Amino acid sequence: MDIKALVIILMSSVLVDNYVLSRFLGICPFLGVSKKVDQSVGMGLSVIFVMLMATAVTWPIQTYVLDNLGLGYTQTIVFILVIAALVQFTEIFLKKNIPALHKSLGVYLPLITTNCAVLGVTINNMTDGYNFVESMVSSLGCGLGFLLAMVLFSGVRSRIDESDIPASFKGLPVTLIAASFVSMAFFGFAGIVENLLA
Amino acid sequence: MKKENTMSVLLKGLLRENPVFVLILGTCPTLATTTTVTGAFGMGLATLAVLVCSNIVISALRKFIPDTVRIPCYIVVIAGFVTVVQMLIQAFIPDLYETLGVYLALITVNCIILGRAEMFAGKNPIGRSALDGIGMGLGFTLALLAMATVREVLGAGTFAGMEIPFLVDHKIELMAKAPGGLMVYGILIAVVNKITKGKVIKKKEFSCAGCPAAAECAGGCAEAVKEEQ
């Protein structure tokens, strides 16, 4: 296994093609749960966890079951059901066996069922033709990128809360504009993969 | 629940309860597919089709779906229609299929569709649900077109691929990129806030509205909070 290729996949999914800030996946939780730093860390960790699990399950399903049977077109339905079931099982499992973890992550789990970033990453892994290890690394990278964006943005948001904003910009509009600046900052990473690693 | 007249079921999606600018649903496709007017129009129509079909089916099945498993049921219905639309577009408009890419499959988890299933189609008869779907779908399409017009004209100096003199030589490329999307969206919401100030529907009519994650979790967060307490 080529380690360098994996590092490139990881770096580009964390920094360059950040799921939230440049591909616009998972915007809803990004805007909804980024008010406090601890909340955004909890949400980010849950997303990483679910993304990894979802990829670990959907990759074999697509490769060994759907493609073999010529059922590739049912991808969307199968993936979303797998993700929804997975999230439910995880929640039940955590509640029963690791109550401490359930207390910190459990609240965010139902929110993730229909998080487009999770479905998006599983489908993208298939479209990009990654093998199993590459898919897992790319999911990890997307999850880390999500966590990074959430935590950075929650810092920005706490500053906004203290500012005096025109009435019609209060709430979501100013948040979106702030997100736009954070997204601009991520442009700085654009050449990192080509110039640093390749 | 108070009975609205048929016309207002159809029309409320256009401005008063516009899914994009007032209910703040479906943010991801709104930002991702509005770099060009053509892409936005295609995305709007695809969503409209899925929304109308799923609203009709969910409304027809509303008495048979047990309350506890309604969300998974809704998702299966929606995913089914998304697959149909996806295959139709792939077969007949391959260019659009390329442009929209993964976002076409992601209509499945578009908050608008699950949100309308939960807020409207699950409680109303078939005809009204279909009208609601048409209204909301058109509202979504119009909002996407508005966003895309601003972004394409400023970002690429073109409108639906046609070059606009002067602007094409002075394009602000940032507008067509990610930050521009977020910024234009923020500003347009502020404009709509300004226009509809005081006349907008009371937010509390919707269970979770006001929370951008509302329809995506379709009440899941409220249940989670309840369990916590």
Whole-Å CA distances, B130 to A157, B28, B72, B104: 39, 24, 21, 21
Using CA atoms, how far apart are residues B146 and B183, in angstroms rounded to an integer?
14
* Closest residue on chain B to A18 (Cα): B178
Do A43 and B213 contact (CB within 8 A), yes or no? no
Q: Do B108 and A76 touch (CB under 8 A)?
A: yes
Task: Sort out which chain A residues have CB atoms less than 8 A from B186's CB and list them.
Answer: 169, 172-177, 179-180
Using CA atoms, how far apart are residues B9 and B4, in angstroms rounded to an integer?
7
**Segments forming the whole domain that contains residue B74:** 6-228
Please determine, for residue A129, whether its predicted confidence score (pLDDT) is greater than 80.
yes
Considering the domain boundaries, does residue B17 fall inside one? yes
What are A23-82's pLDDT values in tens digits? 888 887 787 777 778 878 888 888 888 899 999 999 999 999 888 888 888 888 899 888
Please determine, for residue B43, whether its predicted confidence score (pLDDT) is greater than 80.
yes
Neighbouring residues of B170: CB distance < 8 A, sequence distance ≥ 6: B157
Helices within chain B (DSSP H only): 6-11, 27-32, 37-60, 70-92, 94-100, 102-105, 111-116, 126-156, 178-195, 214-217, 220-228
For chain A, the domain total comes to: 1
Q: Do A111 and B216 touch (CB under 8 A)?
A: yes
At residue B129, the pLDDT reads 92
For chain B, the domain total comes to: 1
Write the single-letter amino acid at B30.
T
Considering the domain boundaries, does residue A133 fall inside one? yes
At residue B226, the pLDDT reads 41
Residue from the list A29, A127, A172 with its beta carbon closest to the beta carbon of B24: A172
Q: What is the DSSP letter of B123?
A: T
Considering the domain boundaries, does residue A146 fall inside one? yes
The ipTM estimated for the assembled molecules is 0.82
Residue B220 in tokens? 């899941």
At residue B218, the pLDDT reads 44
**What is the average pLDDT value for chain A, to the nearest integer?**
84
At residue A38, the pLDDT reads 80
* Closest residue on chain A to B216 (Cα): A114
Task: Sort out which chain B residues have CB atoms less than 8 A from A106's CB and list them.
Answer: 224
Considering the domain boundaries, does residue B1 fall inside one? no
Calculate mean pLDDT across residues B191-202. 68
**Segments forming the whole domain that contains residue A141:** 37-155
Residue from the list A73, A106, A114 with its beta carbon closest to the beta carbon of B216: A114
Residue A22 in tokens? 């440049």
DSSP assignment of A120-132, as one string? Answer: HHHHHHHHTT--H
End-to-end CA distance of chain B: 28
What is the distance in angstroms between the Cα of A4 and the nearest Cα belonging to chain B?
27
